[in-house]
Structure 1
């Protein structure tokens, strides 16, 4: 359960009171963490206010309230304007709150104290670049060398500033001098490829594109850049060939920018091929923000660079989509949701945004709203992706009757060759059919999956477990489950199936060992914990059995499981038969 955003005035009042009470301790112990006060004559009241703002900002950060965090850090910095570390935190907080005006104002103050500060230079440089003020931007971005990762980010922006100034050689040099290792070397190569393409030097551009594509860095951005380059020189056939080759390797590219480009070309619509230096810089920042920093779980850095990218180009929906994903990773679901919602229906990233919105709504237990959203996106963007998402939404809610029609439709839309290559829809439909007690039809789907994917551990486990649970084909079922365990030796669900198979055969000693192992791997599974309770009862460990059943009740069991568990807790294992 997420903590609700607190009223900022209340947070301030509460923490200011705490600050007064703890002032002496704070002064003695917060040292490197808290802001420093250089004026020895500062009153105790002023110090209390300073620490109150600082603690309120820290608390707001814990709550994920970016706006309150920014407000209180900027207040604290205003009280000690010579504290550069507090100024840096205030700038970062303002960016996180999407307050570019405040971030710029703070950056001016920090830059005045330390002209080498990388963050203030990035903020001021991005602001100037976004307005086309290239000379001013260059003052902030050129020769950035504060020893942080911001050097490369500023270097990427400076390269496109040089393009705006008409200094192509200086731009290429800026892209060459990135110091962040092989990844940033390749990001620099991508910028050089784009620049050479814009200059009409196809041979040089292709040389750098080939280098990038060989490694596989930023593959979609590289592809789209090559497509635009070919369209710019009226080579539509080459552009289409590139797009179709990518689509063929990626399931048809059913949604996203590649699909949008294909649809636009089919409709003979014009694709934008030229970007301003600010737009190009925005895309340059987007790639490492997500592909490097977010991948390494350096989420605050990723957020900062993505917000700068959006300042440079507010229409960069790829950066917006990535930003929302990062905010989710930071458990800031409300901010993520509002960010996804800013991606319009005509955007190449609309489907991804809507599916992510629905996922957040499900997490907030707003299932009806999530389902409605998925139905809307399927209506406006019909594809196998949106169809599958609707089916999975019903499946997760254990609405198997509701899920089944979507998987019937999905399977009907696929050719035999496609199903043989990807039988997953058959597997999911098999689950729906089994839960709806249409067992014979379910077996047909599961056996189809195993015919074309004999190493599919999930299908082996599901079919084997179901046979065991029904007490049929036990020998075959055992072999299937053992094979599944060999394929996935750390899967609690699969080990549970093997333990349950032993249980069904009355081999309670072996069942206990396997089920104890299963619980170690999946301690929060109500089904597995319930099974362990059953086997404990069978071996005479009845108090432990009751303990496990109580645990299972607390682990969000299905409605049917909950009824059975309550019966067992009231009347023992045999009482379960009266409600099953």
Structure 2
């Protein structure tokens, strides 16, 4: 799959970059205000600035206005069109799209915008005429067969729809996608037996298939009156994916005797599903911009789809557009099976923009809402730990561990997190117990060994065990500067200064801008008489935004304080 997709993504990415801006990934954004004048230059320049900041809403507004002022500017016409698409305003882009198609009938995004309008109006033949003008190369070799298949479905031409899908069979990696849509189309035409065969075989074991494929097969079982088979599928999927809330939703609906919810109800929904599949594939290849565009087209045809909204929100997080991501997540209703994940993502976005209280309030509400789920508690603990509320973080992790069944079954990661919270809260006995339990569950886990070994050394105890532990951690993660620093600090603490310098120099090479590692190397240089180099490292430590405590200590050494020497330790 990867080789095929990387080949077809390249030409689309170049187009998408012009639609979404330069992807500057900036956390701080300029505040735009709509120009009061009607000048072309003011709107055009503001639109370009908004694109650089990934503010697609402002970019679309400014560039559309600039295009209205100068409708004959061809370059601006395309800029305004792409900005509208990037902002999800597909319907608003249609008039410009038709102008672009007159200039170039093979303009992919313009054709898709016109197809969008024709399909929503059920003008399937006009949509077919538009898509048939596209050459099947690059990304269009994936889009065109799927679009034709669903347009032929709208025209009630079942055989032509299935023939169109055969074009995807030339690339074996796309067979699952082809069979999935074959199953959806057969289900649309009420060939439920054929649909079952296609959907069951598309991704191998249905319980390991993508969620939508499993839901579609379950819906076919239900429509055939095979509720028990549907229930078994939902239960099997839930066993393999215990954190998914979609299957419990379907099981509850089935128990209430409610009608099945089909993945696809109309040709427009089918094409929206195809666009979502393409967007997901592009996202998995880290092709963020084209993935967002495909998701926008999908939402235009199927505005209420929550999985597509989730994907749009996640892409916006990658683009560091956290405010916009929150708005998307909030658009998912709370009675949706995808609301839980949306709210977890919203809490993460709140934390990213510094609204920690909003994140905590949201997560605490979720914790009380579902007493069976640990994920909101784990995320709450993470946010509290980042906010240096260590005792509260440990309490959240405690409750999560209780919900999961106790420390013997939770795995090393959660014990490691709780151990850090305990250590930072000053409760070393509990922290040490968690780290040791984590190593019991996952022997040779380098990050746990690093934290525990470094803590022992810093407290002046268990030097031999710490040295062995950190040597092993360095063997496992030789490129991790923090772990190499820990080993160097062991040697410093036991007065093996030459060995300390060797390791700490490696650590600084790996993490040159870490203030603590530079400070450690300065101390080690001092102990072997390399005083000028020591002072240089301490000055570097001050230049890398150290904590207040470290800044005071380093400045004292620069003012004449002698660094604490290590001790010859015997365990």
1:510 to 2:499 alignment:
yes
Aligned equivalent of 2:480, options 467, 471, 491: 491
Structure 1 CA distance for aligned equivalents of residues 524 and 315 of structure 2: 44
Higher relative contact order (CA 8 A, sep 6+): 2
Q: Match of 2:450? A: 461
Structure 2 CA distance for aligned equivalents of residues 536 and 3 of structure 1: 43
Aligned equivalent of 1:244, options 229, 235, 250: 235
**Kept in 1: contact 2:330–2:342 (CA 8 A):** yes
Offset of 1:547 from its aligned partner? 4.4
Structure 2 CA distance for aligned equivalents of residues 557 and 228 of structure 1: 57
Aligned CA distance change for structure 1 residues 542 and 387 (closer, same or farther; 3 Å): same
Gaps of 5+ in 1: 17-48
Structure 1 CA distance for aligned equivalents of residues 482 and 96 of structure 2: 53
- Aligned residue for 1:451, secondary structure, equals helix
The 5 Å alignment of 1:167-566 reads: 167-178=157-168, 181-198=171-188, 199-202=190-193, 205-207=196-198, 209-213=200-204, 219-250=210-241, 252-253=242-243, 255-265=244-254, 269-273=258-262, 275-291=265-281, 293-382=282-371, 383-415=373-405, 419-420=408-409, 422-553=411-542, 555-558=544-547, 560-566=549-555
Aligned CA distance change for structure 1 residues 481 and 83 (closer, same or farther; 3 Å): same
Structure 1 CA distance for aligned equivalents of residues 535 and 342 of structure 2: 45
Structure 1 CA distance for aligned equivalents of residues 538 and 137 of structure 2: 57
Aligned CA distance change for structure 1 residues 180 and 549 (closer, same or farther; 3 Å): farther
Structure 2 CA distance for aligned equivalents of residues 281 and 98 of structure 1: 16
Gaps of 5+ in 2: 1-26, 567-571
Offset of 1:96 from its aligned partner? 1.4
Offset of 1:560 from its aligned partner? 4.2
Residues 444-469 of structure 1, C-alpha deviations (whole Å, 9 max, x = no match)? 22221111211311112221221122
Aligned CA distance change for structure 1 residues 180 and 200 (closer, same or farther; 3 Å): closer
Offset of 1:246 from its aligned partner? 2.6
Structure 1 CA distance for aligned equivalents of residues 565 and 360 of structure 2: 34
Residues 465-485 of structure 1, C-alpha deviations (whole Å, 9 max, x = no match)? 211222222111111111111
Q: TM-score, normalised by structure 1?
A: 0.83
- Aligned residue for 1:92, secondary structure, equals helix
Offset of 1:135 from its aligned partner? 3.3
Structure 2 CA distance for aligned equivalents of residues 93 and 454 of structure 1: 52
Aligned CA distance change for structure 1 residues 541 and 371 (closer, same or farther; 3 Å): farther
Offset of 1:83 from its aligned partner? 6.0
Offset of 1:182 from its aligned partner? 4.4
Aligned CA distance change for structure 1 residues 405 and 541 (closer, same or farther; 3 Å): same
Q: Match of 1:26? A: none
- Structure 1 window deviating more from structure 2 (309-318 vs 255-264): it is 255-264
Offset of 1:281 from its aligned partner? 1.9
Q: Match of 1:43? A: none
Structure 1 CA distance for aligned equivalents of residues 343 and 198 of structure 2: 37
- Aligned residue for 1:9, secondary structure, equals coil
- Structure 1 window deviating more from structure 2 (397-406 vs 514-523): it is 514-523
Residues 69-112 of structure 1, C-alpha deviations (whole Å, 9 max, x = no match)? 22443355556656655433322211112323421111121123
**Kept in 2: contact 1:327–1:333 (CA 8 A):** yes
Structure 1 CA distance for aligned equivalents of residues 231 and 208 of structure 2: 21
Q: TM-score, normalised by structure 2?
A: 0.85
Structure 1 CA distance for aligned equivalents of residues 338 and 562 of structure 2: 52
Aligned CA distance change for structure 1 residues 549 and 300 (closer, same or farther; 3 Å): same
Offset of 1:381 from its aligned partner? 4.1
**Kept in 2: contact 1:144–1:154 (CA 8 A):** yes
Offset of 1:283 from its aligned partner? 1.8
Offset of 1:275 from its aligned partner? 1.9
Q: CA RMSD in A?
A: 3.1
Aligned CA distance change for structure 1 residues 508 and 202 (closer, same or farther; 3 Å): farther
